[in-house]
Structure 1
Amino acid sequence: MDTLPVSMPGFVWGYRFPVDGSKPTRLTNSAVAADLTIDDGFYWLHLNLADARVPALLDTLSGLNDDAKSALTTHDTHAAITVDEQLLYGTLVDCQREFDHETADLGWLHFAISDRFIITTRLQPLRSVERARLLIEKNPAKFTRPVDLFELLVTEFQRTLISIVMDLTEELNVIEDFVYDTAPRDERRRLAPVRRTVVRIHRHLRTMLALMRRAAASDDDEMPFGFEDIAGRLTARLETVDHDIYALQDRARLLHEEIDSKLSSETNRHLYILSIMTAFLLPPTLVTGFFGMNTADLPFTQGATGTEYAIVLIIASIALAWWLLKRVDIL
């Protein structure tokens, strides 16, 4: 990997795809903006928005209107897809990638596509983008149009979601085993992150599906060449994983309800035991309260056996309470 300082602001990597469909050329860090269009093919430029000079670089690239430039430099955290003047631009949701591991934290990929280029920007490294780059290295002949790369990005995002769904399913399996175990355990704290992740992914995925359908319904003269062909395939892919995530969300909700039900049952059992103990202790308390009054002529105050009589009364009151509870079927 090239580790030298970059010539283009925010440059992460870039590819130039020849018009004859041969192997694309990966640009080095010393590449300049003019190197992107030295032939009749198209290029993919991937930029890091952490560099504040990226907007100035985009101003030097031809083919971008003001709305597309704004879409590439925005810091909005919601999905958007716009078709205008044979440009496709907006924001896709993705999952972040750390240097040593992959995460389920959401990130945002901003893009602009025409027949001559695909430009993407981001703040954090993203899982789908990196896998798409690796696939280009392995099988470059599959990608002959910029929209093919867009399809690849969305497809890799779908595969990322499938991977997350499998991980969350395994986590729910473990939680479910504990929930339906005989020993009661409160798994709400462990279930909460799973539900939060599922809800966030499902919300953004539904938005992407709606935007994809809306973009596919745009006028043919407005959309880039080939987008109409891939829009249906991408929508079908996203709908498939959407069903899986919805099922996962429903399963997590049912597990939460089951945990609440078990905890409620356990609380009711404790309250039942406490009520029984109170019922048993209330009559002896009445006896001891009566003999604790500092008044004259209390029973058993004369003689040496008053305490024994009081103990007998306490035991008798407990037995009476037990008989009454059995009589009304509480015990």
Structure 2
Amino acid sequence: MELPVSTIPGFVWATRFEPQSGASLRLPPDTHLEALLSQPGFLWLHLGLSDARVPHLLEGIQGLPSEAVQALTSRDAHATLSVSPEIVCGTIIDLQRGFDEMTSEIGWLHFAITDKMIITTRLHPLRSIDRARQALEKNSARVSGPMDVFSTLVIEFQRTVMAMAQEINDELNRIEDFVYENAERDERHRLAPARRSIVKLYRHLRTELALLRRAAASDDDEAPDGFQEIAQKLTERIEVVERDVFSLQERARLLHEDIDSRAQAETNRHLYILSLLTAFLMPPTLVTGFFGMNTENLPFAHTEGGTFFAGVLITLSIGAAWMLLRRARIL
């Protein structure tokens, strides 16, 4: 069976929502862009930036300002948010999705929202947007406008990050079990990837949270109707995730310090043993070095049993070293 060829560059999916009837319709890939934009209700168009023709397509959509086109085609790896009375556009963080598994790599979802449509673009497949599409198609009656789609995207991202945080928490639990049950095992190689994911995620979450707070505090005439309320609710949700990720960051940092302290203690113990061996062997080395000199009139050189007497001196020197270390409270 041959799949229909898309007439829209970078087409991933398109969904038509009709708020009055509460219905949603997945549009086929061979639908023309003019037909998509002329139908009633509002449209959610999702495109892949791997197609180099996408920027030209977006530039040809009437009513889509240049700042929205720039936001949708940007390759910047940081969160942005631009709010005006006519349009909301920017970039939000997400997590990439592989073909057969979920990954912890950071991905970026670009969006532009008007009163008639929401356009999203991405370079790599993302976790949250697929979950948001499935949730909206199952319960399309709750969708009254493009802002609801954006709100669902952020909510699903929150759930994705919470699931990822639980995975990292379980990994930290396993590392702690190894650390405290087997002090000789170094778990820093397992801890490093988790700390790297936490730090990257927390840094981008803080940026996105600051942008949402700024948008929620904007004046009524600076944003579309109802956007401040949605931004405020999304801010509260992201704050919950940000606190969870921050607690994971602190826990991973303390665990890393604990592993380092245990490794340092083990190193100090080895150095202590080596120092004791050096202290015990230094006097015998001095004795053997003395008797190994190629000089005349060495003691016991021509005495019967000289080797025995030299051995006694070595033993006495070890005993003297032991007594000195005991007196100095080193042993």
TM-score under structure 2 normalisation? 0.97
Is the CA contact (8 Å cut-off) linking 1:186 and 1:263 kept in structure 2? yes
Contact 1:2 1:29 in 2 (8 A): no
Contact 2:19 2:143 in 1 (8 A): no
Instruction: Report the 3-state secondary structure (helix = DSSP H, G, I; strand = E; otherwise coil) of the residue aligned with 2:23.
Output: coil
Q: Please state if 1:167 is matched with 2:167.
A: yes
% of aligned pairs identical? 56
The aligned residue for residue 181 of structure 1 is 181
- Contact kept, 8 Å, 1:86 with 1:221, in 2: the verdict is no
SS in 1 for 2:134: helix
2:320 maps to what in 1? 320
Matched residue, 2:44: 44
1:2–1:212 Cα change, 3 Å: farther
Seen in structure 2, the aligned counterparts of structure 1 residues 228 and 32 have a Cα distance that, compared at 3 Å, is same
Which residue is 2:248 aligned to? 248
- Asked if 1:291 corresponds to 2:295, the answer is no
Change (3 A) 1:60 1:2: farther
Which residue type is aligned with residue 282 of structure 2?
Answer: L
Partner SS state of residue 222, structure 2? coil
Q: CA deviation at 1:218?
A: 2.3
CA–CA separation in structure 2 for the residues paired with 1:311 and 1:87: 94
| Partner of residue 191, structure 2 | 191
**Could you tell me which residue of structure 2 aligns to residue 281 of structure 1?**
281
Q: Pick which of 295-304 and 42-51 moved more.
A: 295-304
2:302 alignment partner in structure 1: 302
Distance 1:103 1:182 in 2: 30
Deviation at 1:308, TM superposition (A): 0.9
Number of aligned positions between the proteins: 331
**Residue deviations 1:167-210, cap 9 Å, x none?**
00000000011111244211111100010000000000000000
Normalised TM-score (structure 1): 0.97
What is the alpha-carbon distance in structure 2 between the residues aligned to residue 243 and residue 259 of structure 1? Answer: 24
SS at match of 2:94: strand
Change (3 A) 1:74 1:182: closer
- Residue of structure 2 in register with 1:34 after alignment: 34
Deviates more, 1:224-233 or 1:162-171: 224-233
Do 1:96 and 1:125's aligned partners in 2 also have CA atoms closer than 8 Å? yes
Paired residue type of 1:47: L
CA distance in 2, matches of 1:19, 1:322: 90
1:63 maps to what in 2?
Answer: 63
Deviations along 1:289-324, one digit per CA (max 9) or x if unpaired, are 000111111100113311111111001101111111
Q: Structure 1 residues 21 and 230 mapped into 2: Cα distance closer, same or farther (>3 Å)?
A: farther
State the Cα deviation string for residues 97-139 of structure 1 (Å, max 9, x = none).
1111111111000000011110000010000000011112211
Give me the whole-angstrom Cα distance separating, in 2, the residues matched to 1:156 and 1:16: 20
Deviation at 1:2, TM superposition (A): 8.7
- Further displaced range: 174-183 or 23-32: 174-183
Q: How does 1:229-240 map to 2 (within 5 A)?
A: 229-240=229-240
Q: Which amino acid aligns with 2:269?
A: R
Moved more, 161-170 or 15-24: 15-24
Q: Quick check: 1:16 aligned with 2:19?
A: no
In the alignment, the residues of structure 2 paired with residue 224 and residue 286 of structure 1 have an alpha-carbon distance, to the nearest angstrom, of 89
Looking at structure 1, the residues matched to 272 and 93 of structure 2 have their Cα atoms a distance apart, in angstroms, of 51
Q: What's the RMSD between the two structures over aligned residues?
A: 1.3
Cα distance in 2 for residues equivalent to 1:114 and 1:212: 18
CA distance in 1, matches of 2:182, 2:19: 66
Mapped to 2, the partners of 1:189 and 1:59 lie a distance apart of: 47
| Distance in 1 (alpha carbons) for counterparts of 2:12 and 2:137 | 16
1:154 maps to which residue? 154
For 1:25, the equivalent position in structure 2 comes to 25
Partner AA of 2:228 in structure 1: E
8 A contact 1:15–1:43 mirrored in 2: yes
Write the deviation string for residues 216-246 of structure 1: whole angstroms up to 9, x where unpaired: 2223223223211211110000001111111
